[in-house]
Chain A
Amino acid sequence: MTTRKSGLQAVLVLLVGAGGIGCELLKDLILLGYGEVHVVDLDTIDLSNLNRQFLFRQKDIKKPKASTAVNAVESFNFQKTKLIPYQSSIYDTDLFPLSWFKQFDIIFNALDNIAARSYINKIGLFLNKRIMESGTTGTQGQAQPTFPNKTECYDCVHRETPKTFPVCTIRSTPSQPIHCIHWAKSFLFNSLFAEDEISSIDENSENQNLGTDNKDEIKNLINENNELNDLKKSILNENFTNKVIEKIFQKDIEKLLLITSLWKSRTPPIPLNVSQIDLSKAGDLGTGQNQWTIEQNLKVFIQSTKNLQQRVKSGEKEIEFDKDDEDTLEFVASAANLRSFIFGIPLKSKFDIKSIAGNIIPAIATTNAIIAGFSALLSIKLFNNDIGTQIEESKSVYTSQGNSKFVSPSWLTDPNPNCASCSIPRGIINIDNEKTFQDLITALVDKYGYEDEEISISLGSKLLYDPDFDDNKERKLLELGIKYGEHLSISDETDVKKTIDFYVELNQDGEINLPDLEIPNKPKVEEQKDENKEDEDEDDDFELLDDNNDDVLIIEPVEPVEKRKIDSKSSDEHLDKKQKI
């Protein structure tokens, strides 16, 4: 016999992430008595999770987080919340098509990266779902409810985009430890162990940020790639390690020195003469927090290369860099340090390099408990009264050390009218992707009244069509990669209408169904932006921290530390995962 459930018992929840915040939040949600919670997390449990993810034990290492967490809470599931775990990527559109998200009354984000938060944010916008966002960094954190199109969404706040380095800085003229770490991880390690073929350098491409137009330098870069490709083929040979050392720390450097124009105003590097390094002096390596000597670095490099070589021999095809994989970490740390030594750059400890190369954000149980607590308690307000009252009564909170509060609450603010996500109209487009691109263009122009096909169409970040680029017109939509769950954005090239964003769903009836949308005109562009920036500079109190994790931002365009409001930084609760896309 079932009776009609009431209150939170009737609410269906999606919890994205079963990590530091996720474990706490799952406990909080079932103790609040939510009716049904679906938990999605792709990851398995690591040793370094155990200092805060209290639902996991040492015996659980390598098990999936989602199901382990669900099993662990059953013993205190007093109100019989229905729990459904998924060990999957939230981006998996086969498992989680847009329609799947429709069932939920609220989504809790307990994520560790910006990309996934932004993805969920868009789902929320498409389906008008409320999201409870949360994040912590060390002792700081925040929780914030968002009401699509009614309050500030996740993308309304500008997040600093990660710094990238020109290829030449990484490959030819490094000047900071970070350059060498980037080189060791993204170039050397990937070239030798992770990729099939080293991506080639196209000297004529405008897309690649080479950062140089020095012909000799570019030529040298191309040669280096080719030689490394050849070297990679001999990975099973006995003398592979020696060859690698000789090439990258000696011969490549000698070749660089020949490009004299590079060294006019720079200190030239000194090739490593391996025969003069006495490995017997390496001695005990100590803990990871010591800085290794050059002998120790070389010893570690040799050992880790041999270990990796052995793993390839035993059948591992692709080894990915993972900061918790000692061989890969030691390879990258020692290679980066040897290169730093060559270029007269200060060396770093393995502990520090791990942090930089692995995008590590400190994370502790205490902050996660506080922020998950707020996230759960703030959500209660979302199931009383009408939506207007809910918004009025809702708050976001962020930790704060600077005033009489412990955390600072603030009322929810209006959406940013220039937000790239929520200020634009969006809808679901239902198409048969056997139709041609021309069919789609015609349908769009007919439906929304664009002038003379003066539009541009992008699939994600890939441009498919604009008035100067019509090569694709006769191709089938399928051939262009237009599949279920993809995003298509349509911009008005006459600059009148706002850009619109479509979520693609498919039919097999030869139809192109476009949603009814009022496309508003673009607002007048704001000027004076620079002036505003100047004013902020003036005020010392508003200065944001020089975070020591800034280094982290540089390597991978994954998880920059978000800088929000004064005195608050929120971001990724623990960044020990690969980006799940």
Chain B
Amino acid sequence: MTQVNKEEKYDRQLRLWANSGQSSLESAKILIIQPTSTTSELLKNLILPGIGHFTIIDYDSKINDVDLSNNFYLGDDDLGKSKIDVLASNLQELNHDVSYSIQKIDPSQGSIEDFINAQNDLYWSQFDLVISNYQLESLITKLNDLKIPIMIINSIGFYGFLRIFKSTFEIYETHPQSLIDLRILSTWDELQNYSDSIDLHSLDIEQHSQIPYLIIQLKAVENWRLNHDNQLPTTSQEKKQFKELIRSWKKDHYQLNFDEAIDNSHKIFNNVKIPSNVKDIFSHIDEYYNDFNKRSVFWILVKALKEFVDLNDGFLPLSGELPDMDSTTENYIKLQNIYLKKAQEDLAKLKDILIKLRLKLGKESLPISDEILKNFAKNSKFLYFSQNSNKLIPLNFNKIFDESHNSLILLSFFIIERFQKDTKKFPTLQNIDELIKISHDFVTSDDDSLHLILHELVRSEGQELNNIASLMGGIGSQEAIKIITKQYIPLDNTLIYDGINSVTERWKLD
């Protein structure tokens, strides 16, 4: 397929994650261990947008009647054929841009677990994401060492479980709702001079109606400070008065620019220079930047950002974005240039700092393109970082169970997984007491509702319901795309879906 065609075919998603996200997706390789209905649905949703390559590992088996009623990627004609062959090729039918490979395991030669444990680092390093329906401790440990994310996703009956093991999330393209940062309260020379060059009250009505609202706000702030001991409005009463002040400057009821100034006035007083997420990231610089093994591009950029902030009165680089506003083109473009110039100056300063940093690092530095730097600077207010311990049994388990009722579903998945690991079979109603016993390995407290949930899960005999699988596959694929494109705020790191009550809940297991 030609490039033009791809642009057309992927048009609707390029508008979300742009070319950078699309090329990450197209170069990504994922591994699915023992596909289920849920992970087949997940895979479908990754093949459609054009994931690069998928590999499936499964036991070699022939398709039987039960398979047919369970998995809609298998058709009646496929009866008796190799399940893994048919599944992979039917899935790939969805998008010929995607390639695949399969790994058939002969049960007489050993288990999938044996195969997994026998693979070396080189084998695992080819994958950008590994997806499985159970938490195999040896695999989690190994992938954690190699910094390869693993997603555990499973559905049983009406319940769904999703957990992501990824040592850190380091994301700058978080897609915030808006990048606009007008800094009405801390102007710089060009902006101040432009504002001073406008004598609002002497303009004729036509010009008066075309003054961009942020200039009106700027002047209102000046006026307020002058009459209030250089203080800003703080109480809601004062903020109302501030709006009244702007309203009183109207020369005509229908001046849209003044309405915009009033409607957007609440945004002026948010005077946080460094939001808490960025402060938190700064507090990790020593740990991540100074450690060669942890120092990613993200941390080199963060280190540069911190130095920038220290040199610039505590401000982050300006994004340079302006909202639409009622104004003449001339006024708007003047303002746009003022903001753009400031953003470019900030970017240039940040680049200088980065160059020095990378010189200092010498060979240890990593390549960083101007495009990445620019994107990082623009989004610097909205960085996302989190670290995970990736312990199979999280330390904060007890705390979570004290706080949330839905966590019992989470616990139940852990219990059933443990039971299956120990006995190699899915529990029946006769095993409920044993299951309750296992629960004490995880948490200290007892809860009667645990019986009900376990009962519900066991009753399903481990079967997936197509609709729950479809929904969980949707959620899993959404998160897989976030991991692969390194865009958007991820699900960090565990989710439960209760299909009986249509409720989801998520926790950070740590």
Contact = CB atoms under 8 A, between A and B. Distances in A.
Interface of A: 24, 27-28, 31-32, 47-48, 50-52, 54, 57-58, 75-76, 78, 138-139, 175-176, 264-267, 287-289, 324, 343-346, 351, 354-355, 360-374, 376-378, 395, 397, 401, 404-407, 409, 534, 537-540, 543, 545-547, 550, 574, 576
A343 B333 CA distance: 12
A366 B45 CA distance: 6
A355 B15 contact: yes
Given A365-B45, A540-B267, A546-B177, A344 B333 contact: yes
Interface residues of B, number: 77
B72 interface: yes
B504 A407 contact: yes
B49 A364 contact: yes
A139 B11 contact: no
Interface in B136-188: 177-178, 180
Contacts of A574: 12
A545 B328 CA distance: 25
Nearest to A363: B12
Contacts of A395: 502
Interface in B456-478: 466-468, 470-471, 473-475, 477-478
B236 interface: yes
27 contacts: A28-B470, A50-B9, A50-B95, A51-B13, A51-B50, A176-B332, A266-B330, A351-B14, A354-B11, A362-B13, A362-B16, A363-B12, A364-B481, A366-B49, A368-B474, A369-B471, A377-B471, A404-B507, A405-B504, A405-B505, A406-B504, A406-B506, A409-B502, A534-B240, A538-B266, A540-B266, A546-B178
B328 A31 contact: no
A574 B495 CA distance: 28
B76 interface: yes
The 5 closest A-B pairs by CB, nearest first: A373-B471, A369-B474, A76-B72, A370-B474, A545-B177
Contacts of B467: 28, 31-32, 373, 376-377
Contact of A537 (B8, B266, B324): B266
A370 B50 contact: no
Given A265-B210, A365-B44, A397-B502, A175 B12 contact: no
Contacts of B505: 404-406
A266 B265 CA distance: 27
Contact of A374 (B240, B263, B330, B502): B502
Nearest to B269: A540
Nearest to A178: B324
B370 interface: no
Contact of B488 (A75, A139, A344, A404): A139
Given A265-B206, A289-B19, A48 B11 contact: yes
B323 interface: yes
Contact of B324 (A78, A176, A361, A365): A176
A51 B10 contact: yes
Nearest to B487: A139
B346 interface: no
Contact of B236 (A28, A265, A324, A538): A538
Contacts of A267: 328-330
B329 A52 contact: no
Nearest to A352: B15
A364 B44 CA distance: 12
Nearest to A324: B8
Given A266-B328, A362-B13, A370-B475, A47 B506 contact: no
Contacts of B502: 374, 377-378, 395, 397, 409
A401 B68 CA distance: 37
A540 B13 contact: no
Given A369-B471, A377-B502, A406-B491, A50 B16 contact: no
Contacts of A405: 503-506
B76 A75 contact: yes
Contact of A360 (B11, B93, B475, B504): B11
Given A175-B328, A346-B333, A364-B49, A370 B13 contact: no
Given A78-B69, A395-B502, A405-B505, A363 B13 contact: yes
Contact of A54 (B48, B501, B507): B48
B5 interface: yes
B327 interface: yes
Contacts of A266: 328-330
A546 B96 CA distance: 37
